A and B are shown apart, each in its own frame.
Chain A
């Protein structure tokens, strides 16, 4: 159980980078960008094929990010220059990327076993410091000694990376360009009247968003030990799930708060899926259905709760009013009958 949750946490924090990318396009730019399903794999495929061919994994990861950036920019150009509807330009790019990803990999699956990756470097480095044994002995002390994680290094390393990206995003969105980007998602007519080129903003925003998605994809490939052409299916929904769950649970008061919420949402999503799959009824293939269900729940539940609170509040007011005026408690038909 602990190992499973630990794994969920670890991949949740890697997928959080993808969720931050989705947040950037979906919420900040108000652009439902389906490119994500393709660019996630583009990141994974680029990194995998470069690593297999002996490129340093850090360099490979950065190139993967650039590939994602280009993919996002292309979607933006389809929309702004080609004047294609937002959803459709994302779908077109996604479908084109499927073939491109196959071309990049040369086959549908590239295994990364026994090759070095960003994480083997981190683990090696981590092993030399020897904090693992200290942390593990702590776990043993609190009675969780029977299922120790391989290494804490990856988790902590990913925490650092994800938070660096979070803080960079927060900072960027407060710069002059970042403000113009946010205004583009909010009120295009207005920001054009303040001399910002909204087309450039959309292309830039989608580029950055998909660079994050591709980075996440390349790291997932290196962590999981393979890149597969189908690994991006439904990624946009997972990203949305993370954004929506995070926002609902942790709030959206400021940008910094929201990006933190998105990271939290990503981790919680992974934990929920992990727990759900431990229910005997579910098979691994049910993950997508569970995901869809979580998103629906996260979308519907807050409205339902708000509606319930509103009704309750009104009911209370009504009762107070009756008390004040001295009208006795009546049934539902009473008040309408008196109006007639």
Chain B
């Protein structure tokens, strides 16, 4: 199998040399093969977001290297890496441009891995294509191509963000608690859409979540993080039989304390 993403010995410290010094990631190694869908759980401050930010290039590591496919991207700026990496954020407002229309937003996403030119962003041909991909969301957005995105509900916006992040088939998809800000029924919708889309495009995916059930339901691998380290890795075979209780016990036996995250317990 071919590695799509490799993190080798990645280390990141915040506020180094001050009393607030915090090791966000402690020499982490992680490898994702083509088509892997890894769910990441862990309490607040475990380093989940830092991990995502190092992959996407928002942050650069102090030590170690990041490889996407065979390319070393450790110091590649965020916007260049974005050609290969699709992202959906927690905040439904963050993934779209509110004053622009649905079709214009899709056109922005469509240009991700292409050179942007002085040709029209929304052409007739693209419109047809956008309609086709929007139909897969089953939200009726294909009939509202020229509606401003700011008028959509949070769930609709997040569904659109998910579509925009994926329909150009990036090498890696990063989902950073992308259902956490939605009400339960909308969250469920986005979860099932995520499953559908990742399967359709065979995307290599990392999903951070606080929802343990979601972490168990989705993906073929699971990792648990704590204090900047990956403390548990579950492979495909083991993950099928895993339950929330198992996960809690595992955490306890590794760390000697119980997993203390109200949000994790609640869900």
A196 to B111, alpha carbons, bound, how many Å?
9
Report yes or no: B107 in contact with A179, Cβ–Cβ below 8 A: yes
Tell me, rounded to whole Å, the shortest Cβ–Cβ distance linking A337 to chain B. Answer: 38
Contacts of B250 in A (CB 8 A): none
Report yes or no: A195 in contact with B83, Cβ–Cβ below 8 A: yes
Report yes or no: A186 in contact with B100, Cβ–Cβ below 8 A: yes
Report yes or no: A187 in contact with B94, Cβ–Cβ below 8 A: yes
Tell me, rounded to whole Å, the shortest Cβ–Cβ distance linking B116 to chain A. Answer: 4
A329 to B97, alpha carbons, bound, how many Å?
47
- A176 at the binding interface (Cβ < 8 Å): yes
Complex partner residue of A182 from B99, B117, B120, CB under 8 angstroms: B99
Contacts of A197 in B (CB 8 A): 77, 79
- B121 at the binding interface (Cβ < 8 Å): yes
Contacts of A176 in B (CB 8 A): 107, 111, 116-121
Report yes or no: A193 in contact with B56, Cβ–Cβ below 8 A: yes
Tell me, rounded to whole Å, the shortest Cβ–Cβ distance linking A188 to chain B. Answer: 10
Tell me, rounded to whole Å, the shortest Cβ–Cβ distance linking B10 to chain A. Answer: 21
Interface string of B112-135 (1 = CB under 8 A from A): 110011111110000000000000
Tell me, rounded to whole Å, the shortest Cβ–Cβ distance linking B203 to chain A. Answer: 15
- A180 at the binding interface (Cβ < 8 Å): yes
Number of A-B contacts (CB under 8 A): 85
Restricting to A164-190, which residues have a CB under 8 Å from any CB of B? Answer: 172, 174-180, 182-183, 186-187, 189-190
Report yes or no: B119 in contact with A175, Cβ–Cβ below 8 A: yes
- A194 at the binding interface (Cβ < 8 Å): yes
A100 to B148, alpha carbons, bound, how many Å?
43
Contacts of B116 in A (CB 8 A): 176-177, 180, 196
Q: A174-B121, A193-B56 are in contact. Are A179 and B79 (CB under 8 A)?
A: no
Report yes or no: B87 in contact with A179, Cβ–Cβ below 8 A: no
A193 to B95, alpha carbons, bound, how many Å?
8
Report yes or no: A194 in contact with B120, Cβ–Cβ below 8 A: no
Restricting to B53-106, which residues have a CB under 8 Å from any CB of A? Answer: 56, 77-80, 82-83, 85-87, 89, 93-100, 104
- B5 at the binding interface (Cβ < 8 Å): no
- A309 at the binding interface (Cβ < 8 Å): no
- B230 at the binding interface (Cβ < 8 Å): no
Contacts of A172 in B (CB 8 A): 118
Tell me, rounded to whole Å, the shortest Cβ–Cβ distance linking B177 to chain A. Answer: 15
Q: A194-B112, A196-B116 are in contact. Are A175 and B121 (CB under 8 A)?
A: yes
Contacts of B82 in A (CB 8 A): 192-195
Contacts of B164 in A (CB 8 A): 194
Interface string of A126-137 (1 = CB under 8 A from B): 000000000000
Contacts of A102 in B (CB 8 A): none
Tell me, rounded to whole Å, the shortest Cβ–Cβ distance linking B167 to chain A. Answer: 12
Tell me, rounded to whole Å, the shortest Cβ–Cβ distance linking B179 to chain A. Answer: 18
Interface string of A6-24 (1 = CB under 8 A from B): 0000000000000000000
Report yes or no: A177 in contact with B117, Cβ–Cβ below 8 A: yes
Closest to B82 in A: A195
Report yes or no: B96 in contact with A195, Cβ–Cβ below 8 A: no
Closest to A195 in B: B82
Closest to B146 in A: A254
Contacts of B78 in A (CB 8 A): 192-193
Closest to B87 in A: A193
- B46 at the binding interface (Cβ < 8 Å): no
Report yes or no: A186 in contact with B117, Cβ–Cβ below 8 A: no
Most chain B CB neighbours (cut-off 10 Å) among A174, A178, A182, A194: A194
Report yes or no: A180 in contact with B108, Cβ–Cβ below 8 A: yes
A194 to B108, alpha carbons, bound, how many Å?
7
- A191 at the binding interface (Cβ < 8 Å): yes
Tell me, rounded to whole Å, the shortest Cβ–Cβ distance linking B236 to chain A. Answer: 29
- A198 at the binding interface (Cβ < 8 Å): yes
- B109 at the binding interface (Cβ < 8 Å): yes
Report yes or no: B112 in contact with A195, Cβ–Cβ below 8 A: yes
Report yes or no: A180 in contact with B117, Cβ–Cβ below 8 A: no
Report yes or no: B98 in contact with A179, Cβ–Cβ below 8 A: no
A172 to B87, alpha carbons, bound, how many Å?
27
Contacts of B113 in A (CB 8 A): 195
Report yes or no: A174 in contact with B120, Cβ–Cβ below 8 A: yes
- Top 4 nearest A-B pairs (CB, nearest first) are A195-B82, A176-B116, A186-B97, A179-B121
B-side interface residues toward A, CB under 8 Å?
Answer: 56, 77-80, 82-83, 85-87, 89, 93-100, 104, 107-109, 111-113, 116-122, 164-165
Can you pick out 22 interface pairs between chain A and chain B where the beta carbons lie within 8 Å of each other? A172-B118, A174-B122, A175-B118, A175-B119, A176-B118, A176-B120, A177-B117, A180-B111, A182-B104, A183-B97, A187-B97, A187-B98, A189-B94, A190-B96, A192-B82, A193-B95, A194-B112, A195-B80, A196-B108, A196-B111, A196-B116, A197-B77
A-side interface residues toward B, CB under 8 Å?
Answer: 172, 174-180, 182-183, 186-187, 189-198
Known pairs A182-B97, A187-B98, A191-B108; list 12 more (Cβ under 8 Å). Answer: A175-B117, A176-B121, A186-B97, A189-B94, A192-B78, A193-B85, A194-B108, A195-B83, A195-B112, A195-B113, A196-B116, A198-B79
